[in-house]
Structure 1
Amino acid sequence: MRLRTVKALHAALRDDIGDLVTRRPLPGPGVEQVDPFLFLNHHGPQTYPPGSSGLPFGPHPHRGFETVTFILEGSLAHYDSGGHESVIEAGGVQWMTAGSGLVHAEVSPEAFKRAGGPMEILQLWVNLPARLKMTAPAYTGLQRADIPTLSRDDGRVTVNLIAGELEGEAGAMRSLTGVFMSTVELQAGGRIAMPAPARRSVFLYVVRGELRVGGTAVEGFRLVELNDDGDAVGIEATSDAVVLFGHADPIGEPVVAHGPFVMTTREEIVQAIRDYQAGKFG
């Protein structure tokens, strides 16, 4: 096993949406994408008061990629034009394949708006190759209990296995493109070497805490860009920490994005807008 080295650290930029605390590490000034990972919003952590309006993400369209939403604290209600509905609680994950087109809403449930409480959510956009951009839309909502967990380093590290395989264990989701996705919870002093096969793009974001990655000190709210010079990533927590960790084969195709649509040509973007306006997203 050879550990990858750190190429660069990218701080998440603050970009609040109304009263919603938001940080965005990707895209940023130093990194446009980590192909096929396109975009990450980190909402919170914050506490909503009782009687708030909650999250502001009412109905909006997507085409050409997937969204993976991690509910770290609070709860999230999902509705979409494919007829999918769910309320996912803290520790759960939503995986939505927009594919040929969906309209969805991600809002706070009525009970949360009435009572208020802590809220922290990550949303990651994962690109689809041209051959899958018009695939049928799909949605899966997983509660925390649905996600396999692996305990390592005498219980000081917990890997929540969302998609892919790790040491013979299968994740809760099967990705269309072979994406490995997990969250890793570490107690101070905990350490783990996460497999990261050569030529795969590694996505590593420090949600909270402080740690060392490949020997490099990293604070919270940082995206870690890694060199392709090893087959594993060494993570050691210097305080209690939470990490979003994934890897995938790069797609290597043009990315043409316009708001909620991600395609490979400008013409496909124009067609997506026309199709949405014509009501073809359901």
Structure 2
Amino acid sequence: MKVKNLSRIVGGMPISDPFIIGVYHKDNYPQANGNMGPDASLEGRSIGNDFNRDADWRMYHGEEIPGFPHHPHRGFEIVTIVSKGYVDHFDSKGSKGRYGQGDVQMMSAGSGVLHGEMFPLVNDDAPNPLELFQIWMNLPSKSKMTEPDYKMLWKEKIPESNIKNENGGNVKIKVILGEYNGVKSIDPLENSWAKDPNHHVGIALLEMDPETEFVLPAVNSTMNRYLFFYDGNSILNLDEYTMEKGLFAELDGGEEIRIKNGSGAAQIIILEGEPIGEPVAARGPFVMNTDRELEDSYAEYRRTQFGGWPWGNSEMDLVNPKETGRFASYRFGEELDSPEKQN
């Protein structure tokens, strides 16, 4: 069966090895209040834990600015794809930055890191929509205690492929990990499961014009493969299956999948990869192989705070100045990166 399952997302995406968690945030934030928070009343919200799925927008764990103030991770890799809006990043290794509007961040938590990811609202006279995916991808046991790592994929440098259909319509593929239509991604992080091409890890965004099609080739029946139709005004056909916006599909990695779009536009994310095949012990922000390793991780974090938070404990909603552009700074400014800088 080419399509193993179709479902509607409630909370996170129903993904599995080598992936741990996949979430899709879409928030229609209003204009800002001048201080990068929403110019709207926060009365009635669960400030510090605002996850109301029925609301137009959420504060998450932020109190004045939406987002996720600093918190720990260990044992896995995080891929954050920001289609709309901005994210401000700070971490305990001395890195900080602002990215968004199509940028992608890759961060390996490795042996342990603290990071904050806040959503600054920079428009005081217009809405501040936010749309992002965050994918947690596991690390194999040999890599779980490696040095944390972080890099930016600026939207201007993410490899793309364009497929012209016979009707003149176009399918644009943004290749974040892996290879699609002969186009390879930027190199993964050094200790990533995606580093070995035999693991067939792929993450791609598809933008399909009306009445176009795209073929996912057969790769391996052992590979886990997923497709999420997250935006657009069309109907997709996955061979004999019909798929409307908001549906999530688990696909057979060993079968060719022909994706045919209907009369409107369609935006799709593809996730795929060979399973790591190791035991998973996950709780909260840590992903290890055994319960004992989890207990040791919590004990070490309580004892060391993974080196501590170097940016000042008083600022929970820590962000860059409002006028800041997109940038990345590593090791307290020893290395700087931006969309304008050549690799």
TM over 0.5: yes
Is 1:173 matched up with 2:184? no
Is 1:271 matched up with 2:296? yes
Matched residue of 1:25: which SS? coil
Match of 1:36 among 5, 9, 18: 18
The alpha-carbon deviation at position 218 of structure 1 amounts to 1.3
Match of 2:12 among 5, 24, 35: 24
Tell me the amino acid that sits aligned with residue 203 of structure 1: Y
Aligned to 1:244: 269
Structure 1 residues 113 and 276, CA gap change in structure 2 (3 angstroms): farther
Matched residue of 2:193: which SS? coil
Is 1:187 matched up with 2:209? yes
Match of 1:234 among 249, 258, 282: 258
Q: Hey, which bits of structure 1, 4+ residues long, moved more than 6 A?
A: none
The CA deviation string for residues 142-185 of structure 1, in whole angstroms up to 9 with x for no partner, is 22102011001345210001122234322123252222211111
Residues 112-261 of structure 1 correspond to what in structure 2 (within 5 A)?
Answer: 116-154=127-165, 156-175=170-189, 176-178=192-194, 179-198=201-220, 199-209=222-232, 210-230=235-255, 232-238=256-262, 239-261=264-286
C-alpha distance in 2, partners of 1:61/1:250?
Answer: 25
The alpha-carbon deviation at position 116 of structure 1 amounts to 4.5
C-alpha distance in 1, partners of 2:205/2:161?
Answer: 11
The alpha-carbon deviation at position 95 of structure 1 amounts to 0.9
Structure 1 residues 115 and 57, CA gap change in structure 2 (3 angstroms): farther
The alpha-carbon deviation at position 190 of structure 1 amounts to 1.7
The alpha-carbon deviation at position 123 of structure 1 amounts to 0.8
Aligned to 1:20: none
Q: Is the 8 A contact 2:32 2:121 kept in 1?
A: no
C-alpha distance in 1, partners of 2:116/2:136?
Answer: 16
C-alpha distance in 1, partners of 2:151/2:126?
Answer: 27
**TM-score (norm: length of structure 2):** 0.71
Matched residue of 2:122: which SS? helix
The structure that is strand-richer by fraction is 1
The CA deviation string for residues 38-89 of structure 1, in whole angstroms up to 9 with x for no partner, is 2111111423332224422010111111111111111111111122212112
The alpha-carbon deviation at position 280 of structure 1 amounts to 4.9
Q: Is the 8 A contact 1:255 1:264 kept in 2?
A: yes
The alpha-carbon deviation at position 117 of structure 1 amounts to 1.2
Aligned to 1:16: none
C-alpha distance in 1, partners of 2:107/2:142?
Answer: 18
**TM-score (norm: length of structure 1):** 0.86
> Which structure 2 segments of 5+ residues have no match?
39-63, 195-200, 308-343
Higher-Rg structure is 2
Matched residue of 2:203: which SS? strand
Aligned-residue RMSD, C-alpha: 2.0
